[in-house]
Amino acid sequence: MEAIRFISNLAMPMIILLIVIYGLKEKNKVFDTFLEGAKEGIETTLSIFPTLIGLFVAIGALRSSGVLELIIHVINPILNVIHFPSELMPLAMLRPISGSSSIAVATDIMKNHGTDSLLGMMASTIMGSTETTLYTIAIYTSCVKIKKTRYILLAALAADVIGILISVIICRIMS
Protein backbone atom coordinates (compact mmCIF):
# COMPACT_ATOMS: atom_id res chain seq x y z
CA MET A 1 0.00 0.00 0.00
CA GLU A 2 2.88 2.38 0.77
CA ALA A 3 4.41 1.71 -2.64
CA ILE A 4 1.16 2.62 -4.38
CA ARG A 5 0.84 5.81 -2.34
CA PHE A 6 4.46 6.70 -3.14
CA ILE A 7 3.91 6.17 -6.87
CA SER A 8 0.64 8.13 -6.76
CA ASN A 9 2.34 11.07 -5.06
CA LEU A 10 5.10 11.11 -7.68
CA ALA A 11 2.89 10.60 -10.75
CA MET A 12 1.98 14.23 -11.51
CA PRO A 13 5.40 15.75 -10.76
CA MET A 14 7.02 13.09 -12.95
CA ILE A 15 4.63 13.76 -15.84
CA ILE A 16 5.33 17.50 -15.59
CA LEU A 17 9.07 16.83 -15.46
CA LEU A 18 8.87 14.56 -18.53
CA ILE A 19 6.94 17.23 -20.45
CA VAL A 20 9.51 19.89 -19.57
CA ILE A 21 12.43 17.60 -20.50
CA TYR A 22 10.77 16.68 -23.81
CA GLY A 23 10.07 20.35 -24.56
CA LEU A 24 13.69 21.30 -23.86
CA LYS A 25 14.94 18.39 -25.97
CA GLU A 26 12.76 19.55 -28.88
CA LYS A 27 14.01 23.12 -28.33
CA ASN A 28 10.53 24.45 -27.55
CA LYS A 29 9.98 27.43 -25.29
CA VAL A 30 8.21 25.42 -22.60
CA PHE A 31 7.06 28.32 -20.44
CA ASP A 32 5.83 30.35 -23.43
CA THR A 33 3.89 27.31 -24.65
CA PHE A 34 2.42 26.90 -21.16
CA LEU A 35 1.34 30.56 -21.12
CA GLU A 36 -0.30 30.24 -24.56
CA GLY A 37 -2.21 27.19 -23.33
CA ALA A 38 -3.30 29.01 -20.17
CA LYS A 39 -4.51 31.95 -22.28
CA GLU A 40 -6.52 29.61 -24.52
CA GLY A 41 -7.98 27.96 -21.42
CA ILE A 42 -9.16 31.31 -20.07
CA GLU A 43 -10.67 32.21 -23.45
CA THR A 44 -12.52 28.88 -23.54
CA THR A 45 -13.76 29.41 -20.00
CA LEU A 46 -15.06 32.87 -20.86
CA SER A 47 -16.79 31.58 -24.01
CA ILE A 48 -18.67 28.81 -22.15
CA PHE A 49 -19.44 30.88 -19.04
CA PRO A 50 -22.90 32.09 -20.24
CA THR A 51 -23.87 28.49 -21.01
CA LEU A 52 -22.85 27.39 -17.52
CA ILE A 53 -24.76 30.21 -15.85
CA GLY A 54 -27.88 29.32 -17.84
CA LEU A 55 -27.62 25.67 -16.83
CA PHE A 56 -27.08 26.48 -13.16
CA VAL A 57 -30.06 28.85 -13.09
CA ALA A 58 -32.29 26.28 -14.82
CA ILE A 59 -31.24 23.53 -12.40
CA GLY A 60 -31.87 25.77 -9.40
CA ALA A 61 -35.30 26.72 -10.69
CA LEU A 62 -36.19 23.10 -11.41
CA ARG A 63 -35.17 21.92 -7.95
CA SER A 64 -36.74 24.73 -5.95
CA SER A 65 -40.00 25.02 -7.89
CA GLY A 66 -41.32 21.58 -6.98
CA VAL A 67 -41.60 20.53 -10.61
CA LEU A 68 -39.60 17.35 -9.95
CA GLU A 69 -41.98 16.25 -7.20
CA LEU A 70 -45.00 17.00 -9.41
CA ILE A 71 -43.61 14.96 -12.30
CA ILE A 72 -42.78 12.03 -10.01
CA HIS A 73 -46.29 12.15 -8.51
CA VAL A 74 -47.88 12.12 -11.98
CA ILE A 75 -45.80 9.23 -13.36
CA ASN A 76 -45.79 7.16 -10.16
CA PRO A 77 -48.50 4.75 -11.44
CA ILE A 78 -46.37 3.99 -14.51
CA LEU A 79 -43.31 3.48 -12.32
CA ASN A 80 -45.24 0.99 -10.20
CA VAL A 81 -46.26 -1.01 -13.29
CA ILE A 82 -42.67 -1.32 -14.55
CA HIS A 83 -41.29 -1.88 -11.02
CA PHE A 84 -39.06 1.21 -11.15
CA PRO A 85 -38.45 2.58 -7.63
CA SER A 86 -39.93 6.07 -7.35
CA GLU A 87 -37.10 6.99 -4.96
CA LEU A 88 -34.74 6.85 -7.95
CA MET A 89 -36.75 9.22 -10.14
CA PRO A 90 -35.14 12.45 -8.86
CA LEU A 91 -31.76 10.90 -9.65
CA ALA A 92 -32.92 9.69 -13.06
CA MET A 93 -34.29 13.13 -13.91
CA LEU A 94 -31.36 15.18 -12.62
CA ARG A 95 -28.49 12.98 -13.80
CA PRO A 96 -28.64 14.13 -17.45
CA ILE A 97 -28.76 17.75 -16.30
CA SER A 98 -26.34 18.17 -13.42
CA GLY A 99 -23.55 16.10 -11.93
CA SER A 100 -23.49 17.89 -8.58
CA SER A 101 -27.27 17.70 -8.15
CA SER A 102 -27.32 14.02 -9.03
CA ILE A 103 -24.47 13.32 -6.60
CA ALA A 104 -26.47 15.07 -3.88
CA VAL A 105 -29.55 12.98 -4.71
CA ALA A 106 -27.54 9.74 -4.85
CA THR A 107 -25.91 10.57 -1.52
CA ASP A 108 -29.32 11.25 -0.02
CA ILE A 109 -30.61 7.89 -1.30
CA MET A 110 -27.64 6.12 0.26
CA LYS A 111 -28.03 7.95 3.57
CA ASN A 112 -31.72 7.06 3.78
CA HIS A 113 -31.54 3.47 2.49
CA GLY A 114 -27.92 2.43 2.98
CA THR A 115 -25.08 1.99 0.53
CA ASP A 116 -25.50 -1.78 0.38
CA SER A 117 -29.27 -1.64 -0.06
CA LEU A 118 -30.86 -2.39 -3.40
CA LEU A 119 -31.68 1.31 -3.89
CA GLY A 120 -28.12 2.29 -2.95
CA MET A 121 -26.67 -0.13 -5.47
CA MET A 122 -29.12 1.05 -8.13
CA ALA A 123 -28.21 4.68 -7.48
CA SER A 124 -24.49 3.88 -7.68
CA THR A 125 -24.94 1.93 -10.89
CA ILE A 126 -27.01 4.72 -12.44
CA MET A 127 -24.32 7.24 -11.53
CA GLY A 128 -21.68 5.08 -13.19
CA SER A 129 -23.60 4.21 -16.32
CA THR A 130 -24.98 7.63 -17.28
CA GLU A 131 -23.59 11.04 -18.09
CA THR A 132 -24.48 14.65 -17.36
CA THR A 133 -25.74 14.85 -20.90
CA LEU A 134 -27.08 18.39 -21.14
CA TYR A 135 -24.03 19.84 -19.43
CA THR A 136 -21.64 17.88 -21.65
CA ILE A 137 -23.49 18.75 -24.85
CA ALA A 138 -23.74 22.41 -23.87
CA ILE A 139 -20.04 22.68 -23.12
CA TYR A 140 -18.73 20.75 -26.12
CA THR A 141 -21.06 22.26 -28.69
CA SER A 142 -20.56 25.82 -27.43
CA CYS A 143 -16.78 25.38 -27.63
CA VAL A 144 -16.90 24.38 -31.28
CA LYS A 145 -19.86 26.64 -32.16
CA ILE A 146 -22.32 23.87 -33.11
CA LYS A 147 -25.88 25.21 -33.14
CA LYS A 148 -27.96 22.20 -34.18
CA THR A 149 -27.81 19.68 -31.34
CA ARG A 150 -31.15 17.95 -31.91
CA TYR A 151 -29.78 14.55 -32.94
CA ILE A 152 -26.93 14.66 -30.44
CA LEU A 153 -29.42 15.36 -27.67
CA LEU A 154 -31.82 12.60 -28.71
CA ALA A 155 -29.08 9.99 -28.95
CA ALA A 156 -27.48 11.00 -25.65
CA LEU A 157 -30.78 11.08 -23.74
CA ALA A 158 -31.73 7.69 -25.22
CA ALA A 159 -28.41 6.32 -23.96
CA ASP A 160 -29.13 7.78 -20.51
CA VAL A 161 -32.61 6.24 -20.37
CA ILE A 162 -31.22 2.86 -21.43
CA GLY A 163 -28.40 3.16 -18.88
CA ILE A 164 -30.86 3.96 -16.10
CA LEU A 165 -33.27 1.15 -16.98
CA ILE A 166 -30.51 -1.43 -17.44
CA SER A 167 -28.96 -0.35 -14.11
CA VAL A 168 -32.22 -1.09 -12.32
CA ILE A 169 -32.69 -4.41 -14.12
CA ILE A 170 -29.12 -5.61 -13.52
CA CYS A 171 -29.25 -4.64 -9.84
CA ARG A 172 -32.54 -6.51 -9.41
CA ILE A 173 -31.04 -9.59 -11.09
CA MET A 174 -27.84 -9.43 -9.03
CA SER A 175 -29.54 -8.96 -5.66
Domain count across the chain: 2
CA distance 23 to 33: 9
Give yes or no for a contact between 110 and 123, defined as CB atoms under 8 angstroms apart. Answer: yes
- Look up the domain containing 20 and give its range: 1-65
> Could you tell me if 71 and 18 lie in one domain?
no
> Could you tell me if 79 and 61 lie in one domain?
no
Domain end: 39, 65, 91, which one?
65
> Could you tell me if 72 and 59 lie in one domain?
no
> Could you tell me if 126 and 167 lie in one domain?
yes
Give yes or no for a contact between 105 and 94, defined as CB atoms under 8 angstroms apart. Answer: yes
| pTM for the predicted model, two decimal places | 0.67
**Beta-carbon neighbour count of residue 154 at 10 Å?**
10
3-state SS track over 66-123: CHHHHHHHHHHHHHHHCCCCHHHHHHHHHCCCCHHHHHHHHHHHHHHHCCCCHHHHHH
> Could you tell me if 97 and 38 lie in one domain?
no
> Could you tell me if 109 and 77 lie in one domain?
yes
**Phi and psi of 73, rounded to 5°?**
-65, -40
> Could you tell me if 84 and 153 lie in one domain?
yes
pLDDT digits (tens, 9 = 90+) for 114-160: 999 999 999 999 999 999 888 888 888 877 878 777 788 889 999 99
pLDDT digits (tens, 9 = 90+) for 33-78: 889 989 998 988 888 788 778 777 877 787 788 888 888 889 999 9
Element (H, E) at 174: helix 150-174
> Could you tell me if 23 and 60 lie in one domain?
yes
